[in-house]
Each structure stands twice: as structure tokens, then as C-alpha cells.
């Protein structure tokens, strides 16, 4: 269909004269529109072919739900059809005037109908839907399953009509007789409307305000401000959430495999294994508890690599502070760290207890190739001799690097998860149903 044909189909079918103010206004659905609300004086009347108009009501201005989309405006909706706005209704829930929204009646010739609803700045495109079965009806856990998707009960209410303008193929005043149930699976919703023994189903899709403004050729500033989280507003990053998880898991697997490969490519082995007995420092300037310096034999390092130092001390209710100095004998470059090892134990109240450990370890990374030795500077409380076992391992895998990489990989997914979780909590905080209960 050409653009000219589409415009012709959406053109007004004719003009009606309001039976109250006698001003003319256009109408579009000549075949099915029976109920009309004058856009000039808000008279609501019924007009059937060959009959005189029957005045049914006079609406008040919608002081709490402004009409932002004008009657007669046309826009392309997500289903690919171009619709014209032929009616507008301002409604609220029977239980509270605080829950109020606007509904726009849409018409696409020859007989396609839809609605746009807006609640607190959140828009939904609504179309008729086939019948569905409600699981556990009349309970708080009611839900609808469509394929693998689960639509959870979000709201149940009876609407009240406060204002209407335009044309309708149904009696808009029948809204107060409806029992409406909304089932959500963002960004979609299934709506079940019960009118006496007749049930109708509708399917709703979330729309961003910018989409609505663009569809009807309006500036984004014309859209009402959004408040809170919409019933089917997608959580942050919804379009990229699954790809992000897939990418993160694949990258995490690659990092782990790379770590395993690096660990196996260079075999771990001991370059030094020595046991010493600490002795008091004979120097006259030595302080109490200071031990004589221990110098290990020289050993070769094939770097760059990580060296792990394992210390085991014969402690018994005492402590040992042990500064460790690794020295490159060719360059004089040195690396230092200090380990404080303490171990206490005893028997009290009929039970034995212990605190601390007789072992300690430390890792130095990026140690270059060369010939090295280690200097130990023991310091204890009493200075009495004790056994110290020192082992140095070459090519120690740096698990900290693996953990850091995994932490960086999962940082953004975790942030997104928390944002999405908060978003969901805020959504259900506006509902009397769902997981918040």
C-alpha cells in the first residue's frame, strides 16, 4: 500500500454535530463507532445509524490526567500498523484516586483497534489477545504461562471512568463493571478483563516515552515525566544482559584455562630447602631477643618468575619476627618482606586451646634470572634458639592474578545484577502481589 493510500484510509469519515453544544467534530470509524464524547463540551452520547443522538453523560475535565496526544494524530506502532488516535479516556482505580492513568483509543482501517495507556509517565501499547488459562486463579500466586514465559499477577482492580473525548466502538462507561487482572513478564503484560460472564484478553508492550513522541511527531519534552518503576518497564541493560553473562562466563573460562596452561608450562620446583637454628646475636650492640643473621647458600633463579617462601618455626608459647631479604648476587638488587609467626596453647576450664600457627608464607613475583641468596634477621621475645625451616619454590602460580582478573570480569555483571534486582524490587513495591509480599 502506498503512502497516499494509507493516508486516505486514515482520513476522517465525516463530521458529527454535538447534540449539546452543536459544534462539529470529526470521526473516523464509520462502521463501528457508536459512542462519542464531544471534544468541545465533553458531552457523552450514543449515535446509531438512522437514530437520534442519545445523551448519556457530561464529563468533567481530566484535571489529573492531561491529554498529551491530540485526537486525529497518526503514528506507527510496534506491530507495523499506522494508527490514528480517535479517543481518549482518563481513568482511576475504584479503590483509590491515587492510581490514575490515561488511555488512548487507536484505530487503523479497516477494523484494527489498539490502545496506548500512560501511567505516571510509563507507556504501554495494548492489543486484543487470544484467550489464556490462568493458573491458580483467585489466589495471590495466580499466573499465566505462554511458552517458557511466566506472567505473574501484578494487579487486580476495577476501573472508573472520569473523562472521555472522541469516538468508541464500545460503551466507555462500562469500565466500572470490569474486573481487571494484570499479569506481567517485563517488558510485556497480559490483561484479563471480566465483564459479567464475558472475558477479554489483551497483550501489552512497554514503550519508551521517546518512542511515543517520535511515532506521533511530538517533541520529547511533550511527554509526561516518569515516576517510579513501571509495571513492565525493563530493568537496566535488559537488551544486553544475557550477552553480557555469556561473554563474562566465556572470558572467565578462558582466564582459568590460561592460568592452568601457564601453571603447567613451567614446572614448580624447590630451589632452596634449608633448616637452621637461631642463635643470639653476639654483637655488643644487639638488643634483647635479637638473633644472629642467617645467610643461606646461593641458588639459581630462572626468571622472570614468582618465588614462594615457606617458613616453619619450632614455636612453643612464643613469637618470632623474621625479616627476609632476597639478594641478587650479580646486581645487588634486593626484595624484602617480614613475617611474624606466633603460636600459643594451653589448658583452661577443662578444655585445651591454641592460637596462631607455627607456619607462614609469602610470595614475590617478577623475580629476574640470576644467582641469589636469602638473609634472615630473627627477632624473638627471649632470644632463645629455635628451629627455622625455609623452603623457596620457583614458578609458583600467582592465584592473586587469577582472582584479580575474575574480579574485574565479574565487576560490571555484578553491578548490573544489583541494579536489576533493585529495579525489580521497586516494581513489586507498587504491587499488592508478587515476591515483595
For the chain, residues classed under CATH 2.60.120.380 are 269-396
C-alpha 410/C-alpha 248 separation (Å) is 7
Contacts of 408 (CB under 8 A, 6+ apart): none
Joined grid coordinates for residue 113: 483497534
- Model pLDDT, residue 197: 87
Residue 217 has pLDDT above 80, yes or no: yes
Q: How many CA atoms lie within 13 A of 6 on its CB side?
A: 12
Q: pLDDT tens digits, residue range 278-335?
A: 999 888 777 888 899 999 999 999 989 999 999 999 999 999 999 999 999 999 999 9
- Model pLDDT, residue 1: 37
Predicted confidence band of residue 159 (pLDDT cuts 50, 70, 90): very high
- Model pLDDT, residue 344: 95
- Other CB atoms within a 10 A radius of the CB of residue 42 amount to 19
- Model pLDDT, residue 14: 85
Residue 262: φ, ψ to 5°: -65, -40
C-alpha 238/C-alpha 244 separation (Å) is 10
Residue 41 and residue 20 in contact, taking contact as beta carbons nearer than 8 Å: yes
Residue owning grid cell 607456619? 359
Joined grid coordinates for residue 338: 617480614
Q: Which of these, 49, 42, 50, 48, lies nearest to 18 by C-alpha position? A: 42
Residue 115 and residue 104 in contact, taking contact as beta carbons nearer than 8 Å: yes
Q: What is the mean pLDDT of residues 332-345?
A: 96
- Model pLDDT, residue 402: 85
C-alpha 293/C-alpha 312 separation (Å) is 17
Predicted confidence band of residue 10 (pLDDT cuts 50, 70, 90): low
Q: In CATH, what class is 269-396? A: mainly beta
Amino acid at each position: 500500500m502506498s503512502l497516499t493510500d494509507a493516508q486516505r484510509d486514515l482520513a476522517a469519515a465525516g463530521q458529527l454535530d454535538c447534540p449539546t453544544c452543536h459544534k462539529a467534530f470529526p470521526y473516523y470509524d464509520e462502521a463501528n463507532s457508536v459512542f462519542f464524547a464531544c471534544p468541545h463540551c465533553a458531552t457523552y452520547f450514543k449515535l446509531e445509524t438512522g437514530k437520534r443522538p442519545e445523551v448519556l453523560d457530561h464529563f468533567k475535565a481530566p484535571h489529573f490526567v492531561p491529554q498529551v496526544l491530540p485526537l486525529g494524530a497518526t503514528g506507527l506502532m510496534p506491530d507495523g500498523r499506522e494508527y490514528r488516535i480517535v479517543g481518549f479516556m482518563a481513568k482511576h482505580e475504584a479503590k483509590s484516586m491515587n492510581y490514575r492513568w490515561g488511555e488512548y483509543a487507536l484505530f487503523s482501517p479497516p477494523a484494527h483497534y489498539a490502545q496506548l495507556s500512560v501511567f505516571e509517565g510509563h507507556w504501554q501499547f495494548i492489543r486484543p489477545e487470544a484467550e489464556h488459562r490462568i493458573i491458580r486463579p483467585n489466589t495471590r500466586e495466580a499466573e499465566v504461562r505462554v511458552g517458557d514465559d511466566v506472567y505473574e499477577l501484578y494487579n487486580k482492580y476495577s476501573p472508573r471512568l472520569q473523562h472521555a473525548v472522541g469516538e468508541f466502538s464500545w460503551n466507555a462507561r462500562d469500565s466500572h463493571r470490569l474486573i481487571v487482572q494484570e499479569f506481567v513478564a517485563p517488558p510485556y503484560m497480559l490483561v484479563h478483563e471480566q465483564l459479567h460472564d464475558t472475558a477479554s484478553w489483551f497483550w501489552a508492550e512497554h514503550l519508551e516515552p521517546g518512542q511515543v513522541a517520535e511515532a506521533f511527531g511530538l517533541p520529547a519534552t511533550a511527554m509526561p515525566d516518569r515516576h517510579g518503576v513501571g509495571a513492565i518497564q525493563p530493568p537496566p541493560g535488559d537488551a544486553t544482559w544475557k550477552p553480557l553473562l555469556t561473554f563474562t562466563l566465556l572470558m572467565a573460562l578462558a582466564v582459568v584455562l590460561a592460568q592452568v596452561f601457564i601453571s603447567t608450562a613451567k614446572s614448580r620446583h624447590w630451589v632452596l630447602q634449608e633448616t637452621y637454628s637461631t642463635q643470639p646475636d653476639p654483637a655488643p650492640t644487639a638488643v634483647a631477643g635479637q638473633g644472629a643473621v642467617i645467610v643461606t647458600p646461593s641458588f639459581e633463579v630462572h626468571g622472570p618468575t614468582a618465588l614462594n617462601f615457606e617458613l616453619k618455626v619450632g614455636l612453643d608459647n612464643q613469637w618470632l619476627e623474621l625479616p627476609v631479604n632476597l639478594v641478587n648476587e650479580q646486581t645487588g638488587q634486593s626484595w624484602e618482606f617480614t613475617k611474624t609467626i606466633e603460636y600459643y596453647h594451653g589448658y583452661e576450664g577443662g578444655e585445651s586451646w591454641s592460637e596462631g600457627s607455627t607456619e607462614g608464607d609469602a610470595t614475590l613475583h617478577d623475580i629476574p634470572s640470576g644467582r641469589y641468596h636469602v638473609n634472615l634477621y630473627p627477632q624473638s621475645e627471649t632470644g632463645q634458639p629455635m628451629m627455622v625451616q625455609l623452603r623457596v619454590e620457583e614458578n609458583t602460580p600467582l592465584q592473586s592474578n587469577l582472582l584479580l582478573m575474575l574480579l574485574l570480569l565479574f565487576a560490571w555483571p555484578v553491578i548490573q545484577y544489583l541494579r536489576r534486582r533493585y529495579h525489580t524490587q521497586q516494581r513489586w513495591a507498587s504491587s499488592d502481589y508478587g515476591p515483595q509480599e
